[in-house]
A and B are shown apart, each in its own frame.
Chain A
């Protein structure tokens, strides 16, 4: 029986990034994927004739350029189409647009408030300062503060020095930033509801918290990060849908000699004497390997794929308590023509960016109130994009694919499981909000796919449908992600590693967890990493 050097569980983007780096280091790597397609949550799916959906993740903003370069992704077909900002449509029939040009951006804000328009520079400076502090940590393994190893001490010292380098006022500012709500933070800069709503979106996407919950200011950074080191074209659509990212990764992996098996669901990890030796597939087949790397989230990995008795109790308890609450859903819509938004001129560049309809922080917070009560938001916050305005490959001319990210959406409806009727009612809530801003919208719909946390968990394997494999709150970041003492991609079981978004630095189609995990694995194997280019400088 063949014994692989490494098995990766799950062909999501982090699993594939990890697999690529290990294969290129000379290991014989097998990726196992339960679905009969690869991609995890970065997929392009054809669910109705003539349309391709990015049916989970929908924009490319955080993917690390170092990884694109190392794995030669442009050569393997990845093209990212940059897009203009977008707009928040307001209830009075206007829209707050977001332009890339600094002066157009200021003039647009000035339509709503002269003061806020000029406050943007200071806001942008302060957020950029925070990003510059955090960003270099993305591509480094988080230090273990309980360890006395020289490397951990060195990394801690690095963190400490960076923090100490901030100066007293900034240190205070940073401590506040990490703990504040996005709403309170924005109140320090802006006075206009719609402007605050526009910025607050980034603080709550994918998180089971409201804009008034402490800790949400930090989440904003996670979305801002892509632009700090001067990465050009930071925000864009992957041509052909988000599956283009994982298709390019799979192609790169296979070109370097790696093997992918789809329709191969892992039932459990084989553990003998505290060491992982392979996996058992759901059909009973055993596949042996020197190590196993799980791209599944930390709960799925340790609560379903590993026997509880193999794990220390404190670890198990922390994994059980890891916050990975489902907070969002997704509605993918095929349209037979471009929807009309009277608030925007027909040739507005914003129609090619993201559209929102929540024009106050108050409305977002009320939407969160519904979630707390176990219901989906009656007035949800939508992040809508129509990639086909820029990408001609997803459907035929004149027709469009619209992706609607929907928040908030609970993992259970008032404590019980989702039913198909619930799902349809949830979809109707979304459609009716869009129709409020786009007359005749319903008539354009050819097909739609409504995905609640139930569908996201069942198909993609994301526990509770949480898009980040665990909330990005400060208690679950850096050396606390996913579990204190196990933030360096290793687990209590020898030879069993984690490489998914549950690990540092977290979710989004970024690839950093997969790469960082590969660096740690190769360190354990005492192999060099000359095929890993150094993280970009932030100077």
Chain B
């Protein structure tokens, strides 16, 4: 006992000495001193945070991490990815282990107000849907009374499912797991009548079924799922950085600035573009970054539209068409709307 205690004590002292003693208020200073951004993503998931056989992370949410790293260091690779199960994601962020969380997390009131978190914006509007076998003859979610439904545990999806069945006075049997593949195997084996998840994930999963056409996605969307990056509560400046990097990417798409033409756009006369790229004004310096932080982001990552098409767009295996969806720019009937850069 004594020995293990003194060992623990010694370990604590060593850790305390080698650890970086920085006040947690200044996340930016901490990140700069560390030389890398600690960014939390989820267990590998196609499109949003995918892990390839050669060990590289990629995806829409991973690009959010890379964009923030690019804004700070002018190097999108200065990111330490932390892949965490959904069960510990909030505690891992709240206890200071990661600087930001970018892993398809739904913005809800309880999470925003009670868990010590702050949502920095929305980078993907999703909604929950159902996948059923075509042979079952089901055409509407209302017909699912008494059905067994496979659902990811610890997510808003699980709560929405229960709410939907309760609101419509239907009987629910849920099969829960925290591993999508387990649920998909269960569903394919007939262990549940329907599989529910955010619609973005349903199409991608279906494409990997033995016979994709034997399964249909029901028309109902039973919930709003605004997904976005999250930071720790209490460091407003850090929240601002993440938020305005995201808005900057959306704004750039609206203004037509891409990774390819950003150098030419620096000479643009358009005042909006000048402010976005830091030619005019000092928005970047106000946050502790350089004024050209969006130039860095755009050079390395590109605007929101580019990131979208690269990872989840219609031409990718995930294949979520953007036109006409909530994720289109507001000018095209969607919800992607950046607050003015001024």
Answer whether A and B are interacting partners.
no
Chain B residues in the interface with A (C-beta under 8 A):
none
Chain A residues in the interface with B (C-beta under 8 A):
none
